[in-house]
Amino acid sequence: EKGGYDHFMLKEIYEQPRSIRDCMRGRIYPEEGKVQLGGIKEFADKLKNIDRIIIVACGTSWHAGLVGEYLIEEYARIPVEVEYASEFRYRNPIITEKDVVIAISQSGETADTMAAIEMAKEKGATIFGVCNVVGASIPRITHAGVYTHAGPEIGVASTKAFTAQVTVLTLMAFYMAQQKGTISNSKLVELLTELDCIPDKIQVALQSNDIVKAISEKFKDSRNCLFLGRGSGFPVALEGALKLKEISYIHAEGYPAAEMKHGPIALIDEEMPVVVIATKNSSYEKVISNIQEVKARKGVVIAIVTEGDTEVKKMADYCIEIPDSSEAFLPLLATIPLQLLSYHIAVLRGCNVDQPRNLAKSVTVE
């Protein structure tokens, strides 16, 4: 049942080239520069004129929401707010009939996310779901939605469900941009052609497994760990930190790299591993100065870099390479080595990877 892997989590990490391919099947037409999302087709016209999108979710799904915010704002130019479902529902939020709420949930059963949807629905908003479990409670109460089709996820820590959520949100961002006319057809051809190759690039990113395992040996006894990223690398940092804390029980925090100097820098010393998303994109130079700040305080830097990088390699203690890609697809690739890092550290610490203490696969109580 684990297909030769020691744990479901590892099997699910390795399934990602396939699960993402499944998620895109029949939805992208790279040569024509077209995205088709049957599940929200009825709302195609409404999407031309919406003022605001509110994304509600919990945990890892909330991190996917942050990536979605970045992509929808970038390509469809629609303002997006990303809310923890539990905070949103108790805050008397301002919601109107003009709003579109996107609820993201792997299980489709999360109590807070359900309650947030019910409230927004009562106030007249249009509700879209991004769920993995077909026919679960959330997809039944939404107006429309797009399934992630990642297949059953058994490991409690979300891995392939997260990358499938990010893939669906990427498709939604492109779909909305296409409806609104905020993206040219030629740009869409270019992006979809690249997206079509992302499963192959994930396959390459998985080849970092041996180096990640070796790095894990060095850091298995750490008590704390900081994850830093900028732009869409920031939600990746948050997700890397959550994975590490939930399965290895090491205290970890994700931060926007530039926020480090506003507090967390005080924690940095030779005992503190700092994982930095330092791939070649618009914030590359800025991230390099953040790495220098860490090194100046004797922090140990583990950097996720673009294949062939030379600059970061001069400074970081350890580098993990991932294939080059447009910034839009960075989260899908940079997440892979972080999943592997948390997995190997947890295994080395003797933790129950697939069933971490105190956690449940679906949180149906608030």
Known catalytic residues are 361
Q: Is 335 in the site for ligand F6R (CB under 6 A)?
A: no
Piece in contact with ligand F6R (CB under 6 A), picked from 43-51, 57-65, 118-126, 248-256: 57-65
By C-alpha distance, which of 81, 77, 85, 74 is closest to 110? 85
Residues 74-103 within binding reach of ligand F6R (CB under 6 A): none
By C-alpha distance, which of 218, 170, 321 is closest to 162? 170
Question: Which of 110, 279 has the CB closer to ligand F6R?
Answer: 110
Among 157, 176, 265, 276, binds ligand F6R (CB under 6 A): 157
Q: Is 142 in the site for ligand F6R (CB under 6 A)?
A: no
CB of 9 to ligand F6R, least distance (A): 10
Q: Is 47 in the site for ligand F6R (CB under 6 A)?
A: no
CA distance 355 to 202: 25
Q: How is residue 221 annotated by DSSP?
A: T
Among 16, 107, 248, 342, binds ligand F6R (CB under 6 A): 107
| Strand runs labelled E in the chain | 28-29, 34-35, 53-57, 80-84, 100-105, 126-131, 144-145, 224-229, 251-256, 273-277, 300-306, 318-322
Q: How is residue 73 annotated by DSSP?
A: I
CB of 110 to ligand F6R, least distance (A): 3
Question: Which of 107, 208 has the CB closer to ligand F6R?
Answer: 107
What are the tokens at 63?
A: 């991190």
Query: Taking a C-beta distance cutoff of 8 angstroms, is the pair 78, 46 a contact?
Result: no
With contacts defined by CB under 6 A, how many residues of the chain interact with ligand F6R?
A: 15
Q: Is 58 in the site for ligand F6R (CB under 6 A)?
A: yes
Piece in contact with ligand F6R (CB under 6 A), picked from 104-112, 281-289, 314-322, 340-348: 104-112
CB of 310 to ligand F6R, least distance (A): 34
CA distance 267 to 103: 35
CA distance 244 to 13: 14
Piece in contact with ligand F6R (CB under 6 A), picked from 59-67, 92-100, 258-266, 283-291: 59-67
Q: Is 362 in the site for ligand F6R (CB under 6 A)?
A: yes
Q: Is 167 in the site for ligand F6R (CB under 6 A)?
A: no
- Burial label, 186 (beta-carbon count in 10 A; 0-12, 13-18, 19+): exposed
Question: Which of 36, 362 has the CB closer to ligand F6R?
Answer: 362
Among 106, 232, 283, 325, binds ligand F6R (CB under 6 A): 106
SS3 for 249-264 is: CCEEEEEEHHHHHHCH
Q: Is 59 in the site for ligand F6R (CB under 6 A)?
A: yes
Piece in contact with ligand F6R (CB under 6 A), picked from 55-63, 204-212, 299-307, 325-333: 55-63
Tell me if residue 47 falls in helix, strand or coil.
helix
Q: Is 105 in the site for ligand F6R (CB under 6 A)?
A: yes
Fill in the amino acid letter for 341. L
To the nearest 10°, the Cα dihedral for 158, 133, 70, 172?
150
Query: Taking a C-beta distance cutoff of 8 angstroms, is the pair 245, 251 a contact?
Result: yes
Question: Which of 131, 228 has the CB closer to ligand F6R?
Answer: 131
Question: Which of 15, 321 has the CB closer to ligand F6R?
Answer: 15
Q: Rg of the chain's alpha carbons, rounded to an integer? A: 20
28 phi/psi in degrees, rounded to 5: -120, 140
Residues 228-267 within binding reach of ligand F6R (CB under 6 A): 242, 246
Binding site for ligand F6R (CB under 6 A): 58-61, 105-107, 110, 113, 157-158, 242, 246, 362-363
